[in-house]
Amino acid sequence: MTAASESITDTTGEDMTMTEAETGAAPATAPGHPALPIYRLAEVTRTYRQKNRVVHALAGVDLEIRPGDFATIQGPTGGGKSTLLQLLGALDRPTSGTILLGDTDLGTAGGGVLHRIRAHEIGFVFQGFNLIPTLTAGENVDMALEPARLSKAERSERVAEALARVGLADRSDHRPGELSGGQQQRVAIARALVKRPRVMLADEPTGNLDERMRDEILDVLQGLNDEGLTLVVVTHDSAVARRATRRLRLAKGKIAEL
């Protein structure tokens, strides 16, 4: 498929069929636009209405995330961190303002486009790992390739590569219950990586881990960022923020660079 027909697919949201080549790593920057940010947010708000109460979870956020950033977002509980991460993850839409991923407007793109973006361009990591206990590490990672329509051989090659990148090449046949918390989170990171996403989003990825396992995860994240992966990590832990290239604080729905 040519670049032109791919952009038509994006705007109509109709043909979601992906070839093997298209599901590969998205370029961090478009040719001829070396500095094009990954995300551009302008005056983003997200308001929740609960009965007669209105919550301004995000109250006008302007933000750029650039290729190769390792950005952390700190701030008090209720400050809007998870809300922002859900918007970045195309899991929710802003109440007002614009949020661009590359040149796709996540506020107005069709549901099919958002689905494709979640399946191919964004890796998610959560505090609670969210692995399926009855599946092996390899099967958990493989699940993320379900929408990609790859051959069996290509899938198993990608799964092996993702597990190797987090140092778990020899744990593919282990179930989550047979792994430490740090290893489980590394499987979850492999599950995000196997899509070859252009950005990885993590919400408190070390929140359930002791200090040693936290450092194990931080080493993995830092290694991925050194290889060029863009990371946005919500965290309470200043040890996580110390590894970042950019530190942001979100409080009362407003963001600031630290």
CA distance 105 to 212: 40
Site string for ligand ADP, 61-80 (x = CB under 6 A): --------------x-xxxx
Judged by beta carbon, residue 17 or residue 50, the one nearer ligand ADP is: 50
Of 76, 102, 92, 113, the closest CA to residue 44 belongs to: 92
Give residues 33-62 in contact with ligand ADP (rule: CB under 6 A): 48, 50, 55, 57
Q: Which stretch binds Mg ion (CB under 5 A): 9-17, 34-42, 74-82, 182-190?
A: 74-82
CA distance 153 to 231: 29
Q: Looking at 23, 72, 74, 83, which residue binds ligand ADP (CB under 6 A)? A: 83
CA distance 165 to 224: 8
Tokens standing for 172? Answer: 């593919």
Q: Report if residue 127 touches Mg ion, rule: CB under 5 A.
A: no
* Edge-to-edge strands, sheet with 96-101: 53-65, 39-50, 96-101, 104-105
Judged by beta carbon, residue 61 or residue 145, the one nearer Mg ion is: 61
* Edge-to-edge strands, sheet with 254-257: 122-126, 199-203, 230-234, 70-74, 246-251, 254-257
Q: Which stretch binds ligand ADP (CB under 6 A): 8-16, 81-89, 121-129, 214-222?
A: 81-89
Q: How far is the CB of 202 from Mg ion (least distance, A)?
A: 12
Strands 70-74 and 246-251: parallel
Judged by beta carbon, residue 80 or residue 123, the one nearer ligand ADP is: 80
Binding partner selected for residue 72 from Mg ion, ligand ADP, none, CB under the kind-specific 5 to 8 Å limit: none
Footprint of ligand ADP (CB under 6 A): 48, 50, 55, 57, 75, 77-83
Footprint of Mg ion (CB under 5 A): 81-82
